[in-house]
Amino acid sequence: MSTLVIYFSQTGTTRAAAEKIAEIKKADLVEIKPERPYEMSYVKTVWTSMKEILKKARPALAMELPDIQKYDRILIGFPVWCGTAPNVVLTLLDALNLNGKHAAVFTTSGSTKPVKLAVKLKKAYPETRWHKPLNANGMTEEEVRDWM
């Protein structure tokens, strides 16, 4: 089964998880790159993120879209921001057509687990065949292997 891991990371934690998952699942790896990088200051990013959530913003991407037709399943990783997915991840989900694809999210966070945001994604993209999300905080290789 061919797998694509696609991730967004501001400070590297999700990148490390994505690299580990891609290695274990023998998957291709693609980074989600916003055209306008987020500030490295936590407070400024929280502010930007809250504004984007309220405005339902879709920040522009500075990357080529992967050809998802080549893959049977897509694993999407990101940090939890303000309880949900960063809007730049939604830009990507809008741009890719994941209808009928097997997909799942994995997240890193201070403590928030991905269950609620995964339910929201399921509602927003109902044609995607969503599988259970993975909390990638402190994940083990066994958890990754058992996942999906």
Q: Which residues here bind ligand FMN, judged by CB under 6 A?
A: 9-15, 42, 45-46, 49, 79-83, 108-112
CA-to-CA distance for 128 and 130, rounded, in angstroms? Answer: 6
User: Which CB, 101 or 133, lies closer to ligand FMN?
Assistant: 133
Write out the DSSP string of 93-148. HHHS--TT-EEEEEEE-SS--SHHHHHHHHHHSTTSEE---EE-TT--HHHHHH--
User: Which CB, 50 or 124, lies closer to ligand FMN?
Assistant: 50
User: Which CB, 88 or 101, lies closer to ligand FMN?
Assistant: 88
**Least distance (Å) between residue 21 CB and ligand FMN:** 13
CA-to-CA distance for 62 and 32, rounded, in angstroms? Answer: 8
CB atoms under 10 Å from CB of 138, counted, come to 8
Helices (H) and strands (E) in the chain, counts: 5, 6
User: Which CB, 63 or 102, lies closer to ligand FMN?
Assistant: 63
**Least distance (Å) between residue 79 CB and ligand FMN:** 3
User: Which CB, 15 or 73, lies closer to ligand FMN?
Assistant: 15
**Least distance (Å) between residue 97 CB and ligand FMN:** 26
CA-to-CA distance for 107 and 44, rounded, in angstroms? Answer: 21
**Least distance (Å) between residue 105 CB and ligand FMN:** 13
**Least distance (Å) between residue 52 CB and ligand FMN:** 10
User: Between 42-55 and 87-95, two packed helices, what is the crossing angle to 10 degrees?
Assistant: 50
